[in-house]
Structure formats: structure tokens, C-alpha cells
Structure 1
Amino acid sequence: MTRDQKDNLFLLVKSLTKSEKRQFKLYVGRLDVNADSKFLSVFNVLDKMSVYDEAAILKTTNVKKQQLANVKAHLYKQILISLKLNPSHQNVRSQIREQLDFASILYHKGLYKQSLKILDKAKEIAIINEEKNLAYEIVELEKVIESQYITRSISTRADELTTQAKALSEANVITSKLSNLSLQLYSIFLRTGYVRSEEESKWISDYFEDKLPKYDIQKLGFREKLWLYKAHLWYSFLMQDFLNCYKYALKWVSLFYDNPNMIQLNPVFFLKGNNYLLEALFFLKNRTKFEEFLNKFETIVANKTFPKDENVESLAFLYINLNKINIHFIDGSFEDGLSLIPKIESNLIQYKNRIDEHHEMTFYYKFASLHFGAGNNKKAITYLDKIISNKTLTIREDLLCFSRVLNLVAHYEASLDFHLETLLKSTYTFLIKMNDLHEVQKEMIKFIRGLQDIYPQDLKKAFIELHKKLKVYEDHPFEGRAFLYLDVISWLESKIDNKPVNQVIREKYLAEFASR
């Protein structure tokens, strides 16, 4: 039986580096009894496979079909244990947990004093590194031990531990509420994108105010501030308040620059904060600051001291390359951006199992937009088709919506009129089903549908009329979101002035930049 690369064990084996494979074999080889073990033979077969093939495993090993599930489960566990022992996967959190495990063992052996000594050191490390959940767990174990290890200092010790437990508990509760709020706002953004109406705006505002816990900013530590800034950031993104997006993303990133040791412990949050900072600057069209922060971001990530693992590497690839593309949308340098596509496409294959489908489709939309801006409409259609034909993509409705609208415009520009009527019907049906048919899309579809009845000499007049209708929506709090995905205004101006769209965007950027 041959399956696509979706078997969990197979994916885990394929994610191992050469050194991790070598360590695993040394780990299982420490016992002579493992030399001819079934789980090791399955590992060797999986290591050589390019796609998961259960029939091949059964054929080339002495594992019977009814044994395979148990053998695979055992192998999966042994690989994880081996990875846990690998120095590259050791960090402050794992060290604290290890000390907590040691202390528990000593406690159960009745060696209370030794256990408390280890816990005291582990707690200090946990608090310094903002690991307050672990610190709270340590204090709770200290309380249990102190209740059995009677000393003359028990009264003062009890007060001390009670105070610590209360402070840590309050910090953890605030963190939990802020992280829950941040996650829920992020989930809403992924499902629906930016707010689309006054009703949605009010609902999001009420939801945010209701769920935001009371806090004293002076009493918040690194972790609590991080989640506070995240929650404000997602709220601002949903509301299309990009100045506040920039404000809170900058606070988020500055938190790490003020506490550089936290970059080592939380590299993923550092990467995400920089990505949102750049995204906010992209929407604000501030190329100077965008370039400054992107260069700083790339320099830090490229530094040898920056923590590296598979997850960090894939996220760094994702965020750096998406923003390398975005910079070309700010000033209309689309043709320069085209050179990025081949390498990114190649890396997308490399990171296939680590990058979610939504971000893969976002890259395709960016590729399509670059080609559209450079006048390569047929290439733009090729990438848009990858999104539109994807039947499993159920998140980011706005990405699906504007992919279809851009697809219509690209077909018109490529003079593929014979497809236009069918595309109009399917796009209209799709948007109605999504309940996302706003004024910009309505006017665009109405215009393209009526193009076949317009005489060539009246075409420029029709473009001017549509431009006049859409211009009023450019700064609209809800309708304006359409222009974040597709700069229809610049496209119309390119048709009216008979200029390439990239030239129009470039001239607008230079005019705005000169006025700053």
C-alpha cells in the first residue's frame, strides 16, 4: 500500500538531520539486544524511502502486518527520546524541567533537603527567564515538601512560598487571558480577514474590550507584555488600524531588543514580531523604515548566535521572503521582484511539510501580483489558478475573493475574452456564497461584464467613470480593504494615462516620498 507522505513516523524520520540519525543509531546501539531489533530495521527502511510505502516495509523487514502499528509506535517514541537527549534541542526550559524531574525523584526517595536545594536553583532560573508556569509548578512542589520536611524556619518559609505562589498565579492568569484573546483574534483574522462592516467593527471592539483583562503595566513582566502587545496588534489588524499595528509591533520587537536573552529562548516570537512590524510598514507604504527594519531583521537571523532549528529556519524563510516581495509593491518595482520567484519556489518544495497551505497560497498570490504588475498576465493567471483550484483551502476568505477578482482583470488584460463570461459567473456565485460582495467588487464585475458592449473609442471614458466611482472608496474604513490586495485605482489610472501599471505606482510612490 503506497500513500502520500502523510504518515507521522515517516515525516519524523525524514525531518532528521544526519547528526540526529547518527545519534539515534548510537542511542539504540548502546544495548546489544537492539542490533537486530524490528524497530531499527523499520527505521532503516523508512530512511531510504522517498514516499511512504507500507507494503515495502513488510516485504523488506521481518515485521508482520499485525505487528507493524506497535513497532512504529515504539520507533516513534525512541526517536523522540533520542532527540530529547540531543544537545541541539536542549534549552533553558528543558533544563528546568530536567531539574524538576530530579527534584521529584529525590523527594520520593525521602531526600527532602537535596530536593529543595535543586528546586530553589531551578526556580531562580525559571523566574529570570520568565518561565512562570514552571516557576509556579516548582513552588507548588516546594510547598508539598516543606509540609513534610519540618524545620524551625517553616513559618517564614510558608509565608515566602505563599507570597510567591500568589504572585506567580496572578501573572499566569493574566498571561492566559491575554494569550487566549490574542489567539481568538488571530483565528478571526484567518477566517475572515479585516472587518467588513460597521456591525463587524462594533462586534470586534466589544469582544476585545470584554476579554481584555485589567492590568498594571508597571507590574507586567516580559511574558505578560508580549501577549498584551500581541492582542493589541491583532485587534488593530482586524480594524485596519495600521498605525497602531506599527505601534504595537514595534513595542513587541523592542521588548526583545531590550531583553536580548529572550531572543535565544523565544526565537519564534521574535521572528513573528518582526514580520508583523514589516507588514504594518508595508500597509503604511513606508519604504525607508521597511528597508531599515528588514535589513536589521535579516542581519540578526543570519548571525551564527541566532538559534537554529527546523521550525525557526522555515519561519525565517517565510517571513524574510514574503517581505522581500512586499517591498516591490510599495514602489512598483515589480520587474525587479520577479527574480525572487524561482528561488522561493524551489525553497517552497524544500519546506513543503513545514509551511502551512495558507502561507503557500499567499506566496502564489504575491507571485501572481508581481507578474500582473510587470504586465505578464498569463503568468499571473497560472499562479492564481493554483489558489482558485485548491478545494481544501478554507481559511482567509479575502485571499480567495481577491484571487478571483484579480483573475478576472488578468484575463481581460491578456485578451482571453472567451473565458470571461464563465469566469464572471463563477466569481459572482463564489462571492455571493461568501457574503463578501462589497461595492468595489460589484463595480469591478459590472464594469468587466459591460466591456463587450463598449465601443473602442468609448473605452477610456468607461475607465474614467469606473475610476471616479472607486476613488471614493479608497479611504473608506471597510471598502478600502479591497485595495490592500489589488491596487485597482492604479490599474485604472494606467489604462486612462496609457502607462504601465508599475510606472503609475512608481510615480505615486515618488510623489508621496518627496512630500514626506
Structure 2
Amino acid sequence: MSNYNNNKSDHLLLLIQTLSKSEKRNFKLYANRIRRNKSAKFMKLFEIMRKMNFYNEQKILKDTSIKKEQLSNVKAHLYKQILTSLKKLQHTIENHDIQIREYLDFSKILYNKGLYIQSLKLLGKAKMIARSCESNTILLELVEFEKMIESQHITRSLYSRSGELSTESKELIERIQCKNALSSLSLELYGLYLKVGYVRNKKDKIFIETYFRTNLPKFDIDKLSFYEKLFLYQSQVWYHSIRQDFIMCYRSSSKWIELFQSYTKVKKIAPVSYLKGYHYLLDTLFYLNHYSKFIHVFKQFEKEVKNGEIPINGNTKILIFMYTYTNRINKHYMEGSFSEGVKEIIPSLFVEFNKIFNRLDSHYIMILYYKIACLYFGSGDNKNAILYLSKIMENKRKNLRQDLQCFARLLYLIACYESGLDENMDQKIQSTYKFFIQMDDWYIVQKKIIFFFKNLGNVYPHQIRNQFKKLRDELVKYYNHPYEKRTFLYLDIISWLNSKIENKSVEFIIKEKFIKNNLKLFNSTKI
């Protein structure tokens, strides 16, 4: 983890580290096509930087003939050359956007030479690809260029063609407006979810419902294109998630996955969106505590990844890592098999994590640390739970997943109490209290937990068990409260309280509850 900031600070090194063996080999072939490049400074720089784990300017200056004042320009040139070689490599693996753009560029070259018919033929090829991929924005650009050629030069039957192009242009504009409205709604809702999480009160609920209703464009579901449906289902998933309506969230995320399974070719074109659909479907099943369905969908997800049905690139590699490990951890949460999860998951998780940590954003890292902390806490390893909760609490970005940052602090208090690290407990309680106030997240359940810890120091040892019972009985009342219940999505506080009351481990309590709830599943031959 010590190299994280260094890697983050140098974009060239990050780019080089993402290159596969074949991409590095392709770059060398591309650069060395010009003989003099073999001894060029940018190639010497590439050879040194591809062996670096973190950026070291002194080593570069020492091992090359590059002067300090030249380094910035040589790095910029190398960066551009790598991107150019990657762009050329994209033609060997079907990349529709690049193909369309190339046809459009060639078409403009032919047009400028006065070869109008040839230009239009290439535009026709580009339009066929754009239509098949539903790339309506670039398709509109192609149509507008075609209109310009037809309007300035007599190429075919101008009168009939001009009417066709005008109609096509209007229809595309309407489609693009609908798609943009749905994609903007999806993005805004996702941004709200990342910032705040679930609705905290009636004011939040009214705001999100009003926002969704007023920004959702009118549509006929049967006439929507693939991407319009995708953005619609995404918007619905964020909307229902924020409102904690997980039944509706399940329905929308299921439609999201079914959409891709109806348009199988789009899995290859938009694999990131497909993976995200799987993630939210699994996440919803986790919150609904529907174990058998969760296991079925997760096996399906892992099978598709293993069979190569989802293309592997820099983006999908990160998402597959995140969604595989968070859902493996979620499986152990549901089963109450925390100790088993620590043994099975943690070692391989960090092997993979260390390979890609410099490309993970703060949001993913925060989620992963919280999942790891909960796994350790459930296994009884409070010191490791405290370690990963501390990493979340050290995050300076207060506008990112405020909900997660708040509940990490509550679990931190519980883990400190459990581990016996209760010195300066008053100070820790005060710090947690101030953070909740600062984040405007000071509600009944949080208050009761904070005040419980604050007053615990005044309780005689023989009274402590009764205090745990009292807190449990008070909190259970809010388990299905429309706003207060969100605390129980982050913390299984009731199971922890039961463990203290019954003098059993948290792991035993959750495992016992799981077996009781899934007794029919265990008696079935289809486990």
C-alpha cells in the first residue's frame, strides 16, 4: 500500500502498468517500424519504466541520456505513442466506435477530393455499423454530413433522398433526447446514492420521489431501444435502492440482466454495464436475505466470467474483482461462516488487490475495507476489524458514501469495546457523535447506540446484561421503520446484542439464525 500515492501521481507509469504482454510487444513493433526509434530516448524511457513498481525520476535520469529539462517532453511523447499503438491494436479486436470514426474520416478525405459518390458509399457502411450498435449520436453526425453532401452536390435522386434524410435526422434527434434524458437521470441518481446512500427521513424521500417523477421522460416501453431501456432500468435501480424498496429494486435489476441476455451481442460491446447489472441484482438479493436465489445468480455470474462470455479489459477486470469478492464475502455474511470466509477469501483477495489497487477509486476501496472489517468482526478478530475501519475513517473525502463512513464509526466503537481497547472511549464516542452531527445523520437508532456506550461506564458489571437486553428491545421496534431500518442494512446490531445477552459469539448467533431460516434448503437434495 505504500506505493499507492506514487503510482497515482504519474499517469505514464499507470498507463504502462496496465499494458498486457501483447500490448507491450505491439507497442515495440509499432515504435520500431521507424529504424531510428530503436535508440530514441522515448524507447529507452519505456524500457526503464515498464520494470518500475513506482515512479523513480532519479533512476530515469541516471540510467538514460535524458536531461531533467527534457524529461517532461519525452514522457508526453511516449504517452502519445503508446495511445496511438493501442488505437491501432483496437482494429484487430472489433471496436465499433473506432471503425465508424475511421469510415467517417475516410469519407471526409474523399469528399475533399471531390469524390462524392465514393464518400457516400463509405458513409453508408459507417451508418450500417452505427445502427447495429445503436450509436445514435454518431449516426446523427453521419446523417448531417450526408445531408450536407446531398444538399451541395447532385449525386442521385435528390428530391426523394432529401426527404428521407430529413425524416431520419428528426427521428434520431428525438431518440437522442430521450436517451440523454434517461442517461442523465440515471447518472444524477447514482451520484446521489454515492454521496448520501439511503433515504434518511421524510424530506429525503419526498425529494427523491419528486426528482424522479419530474425528470423521467414520457416513453412507450415497446418503442425504446436497447440503451434507452438500459438507462431506464438503471434509473429505477438507483431510485428504488435509495428508497430502500428492495423488492422493486430486484425487479428492475432483473430486467437489466434480462435485457442483456436478450441482446447477447451487446455483452461484448457494453460489458461494464452488464457487470454492474449483475452486481445490483446480487446486492438486492443480499439485502432481501434471499439466500437460494443469491447463490443461483452468483453461480451464474461466476460461470459467465469463467467461460469468457464477458470480455476482459482494464475496466472489467476491476469490476469482476470487486463483484466477485464482495459477493463471496456477502455469502459468508448470510451463512454466518465468518471464520471460514477469512481463511478462504482474505489471502487471495489481497493477492488480486495488490495487482490493481492503483486503479481502484476511493469508493471501491472504501466498500472493500468495510466488507473486510465486517468479515473480521464476525469471526471475532476485532483488532483486524479496527484496522480496516480506521482506513475508512482516515478518508478525507467527506462527500463520498457519507452513510458508510458514519456506520464504520459505529462498528469501530463496538469493535473497540469487544477487543478491550476501551481506553479513551469517551473521546471516541464524542468523535463519533460529532461526525454524525457533521454529516447530518443523527437519528434515533444512532442516538440510542451512542448513548448506550456513553452510559455503559456507569453500569455495574452485574447490570450489563440487562442493559444489552434493554437496548435490543428498544432497537427491535425500529427494525422495519421506513427510515431507521437502514442502520440494520450496514450493521447486524441485533445479532451482536443477542450474542452479548446469550454469551455466544456473533458467528454462532448468525449461523444459527441462517440454519433456522434455511432449514428446508438444508434438507433438500438441491443444496
Q: TM-score by structure 1 length?
A: 0.96
Matched, 1:53 2:56: yes
Match of 1:15 in 2: 18
Matched, 1:244 2:248: yes
TM-superposed CA distance for 1:392, in Å, is 4.7
Q: Which amino acid aligns with 2:59?
A: A
Q: Which amino acid aligns with 1:220?
A: L
Cα deviation 1:272-294 (Å, max 9, x = unaligned) = 00001000111100011111111
Distance of 1:151 and 1:405 partners within structure 2: 72
Of 354-363 and 193-202, deviating more is 354-363
Matched, 1:98 2:77: no
Q: Secondary structure at the match of 2:218?
A: coil
Aligned residue among 360, 373, 383 for 1:355? 360
Report 1:130-169 matches (<5 A). 130-169=134-173
Contact 2:472–2:497 (Cα < 8 Å) also in 1: yes
Distance of 1:448 and 1:12 partners within structure 2: 48
TM-superposed CA distance for 1:318, in Å, is 0.9
TM-superposed CA distance for 1:54, in Å, is 2.3
Distance of 1:354 and 1:50 partners within structure 2: 14
Match of 1:212 in 2: 216
Distance of 1:515 and 1:136 partners within structure 2: 57
TM-superposed CA distance for 1:51, in Å, is 1.9
Contact 2:377–2:385 (Cα < 8 Å) also in 1: yes
Cα deviation 1:235-283 (Å, max 9, x = unaligned) = 1111111111111111111000011000011111110000010001111
Q: What percent of counterpart residues are identical?
A: 46
Cα deviation 1:116-166 (Å, max 9, x = unaligned) = 112112212211122212221211111111123314511111111111111
Report 1:81-480 matches (<5 A). 81-87=84-90, 90-338=94-342, 339-392=344-397, 394-480=399-485
Contact 1:357–1:393 (Cα < 8 Å) also in 2: no
Distance of 1:299 and 1:94 partners within structure 2: 30
Q: Which amino acid aligns with 2:164?
A: E
TM-superposed CA distance for 1:334, in Å, is 1.5
Of 264-273 and 167-176, deviating more is 167-176
Q: Which amino acid aligns with 1:4?
A: N
Q: Which amino acid aligns with 2:355?
A: Q
Match of 1:76 in 2: 79
Cα deviation 1:361-389 (Å, max 9, x = unaligned) = 21111111112112222221122122223
Cα deviation 1:396-429 (Å, max 9, x = unaligned) = 0111111110011111112222242221121112
Distance of 2:55 and 2:93 partners within structure 1: 26
Distance of 2:410 and 2:222 partners within structure 1: 48
Cα deviation 1:70-128 (Å, max 9, x = unaligned) = 22222111110000111465412222222222212211221111111121122122111
Aligned residue among 24, 28, 46 for 1:25? 28
Match of 1:44 in 2: 47
Distance of 1:255 and 1:230 partners within structure 2: 12
Contact 1:348–1:360 (Cα < 8 Å) also in 2: no
Of 414-423 and 296-305, deviating more is 414-423
Q: Secondary structure at the match of 1:209?
A: helix
TM-superposed CA distance for 1:195, in Å, is 1.0
Cα deviation 1:161-207 (Å, max 9, x = unaligned) = 11111111111111111111111111111111111110111111111
Q: Secondary structure at the match of 2:214?
A: helix
Contact 1:246–1:277 (Cα < 8 Å) also in 2: yes
Distance of 1:376 and 1:94 partners within structure 2: 51
Q: Which amino acid aligns with 1:413?
A: E
Distance of 1:256 and 1:248 partners within structure 2: 13
Contact 2:117–2:155 (Cα < 8 Å) also in 1: no
Distance of 1:314 and 1:504 partners within structure 2: 34
Q: Secondary structure at the match of 1:453?
A: coil
Contact 1:84–1:90 (Cα < 8 Å) also in 2: no
Q: Secondary structure at the match of 2:414?
A: helix
Q: TM-score by structure 2 length?
A: 0.94
Match of 2:512 in 1: 507
Distance of 1:428 and 1:144 partners within structure 2: 65
Of 45-54 and 22-31, deviating more is 45-54
Contact 1:411–1:419 (Cα < 8 Å) also in 2: no
Q: Which amino acid aligns with 1:251?
A: K
Distance of 1:182 and 1:305 partners within structure 2: 26
For this pair of structures, how many residues does the alignment match?
515
Cα deviation 1:32-86 (Å, max 9, x = unaligned) = 2323222222222222333212233233333333332222222111110000111
Contact 1:358–1:393 (Cα < 8 Å) also in 2: no
Structure 2 unaligned residues grouped into runs of 5+ = 522-527
Distance of 1:209 and 1:515 partners within structure 2: 42
Q: Which amino acid aligns with 1:201?
A: K
Of 474-483 and 432-441, deviating more is 432-441
Contact 1:103–1:115 (Cα < 8 Å) also in 2: yes
Match of 1:495 in 2: 500
Distance of 2:385 and 2:37 partners within structure 1: 55
TM-superposed CA distance for 1:209, in Å, is 1.1
Q: Which amino acid aligns with 1:440?
A: V
Distance 1:41 1:383, change over 3 A: same
Cα deviation 1:323-362 (Å, max 9, x = unaligned) = 1111122232222211201211221111112211221121
Distance of 2:159 and 2:518 partners within structure 1: 67
Distance of 1:347 and 1:305 partners within structure 2: 21
Q: Which amino acid aligns with 1:79?
A: I
Q: Which amino acid aligns with 2:438?
A: K
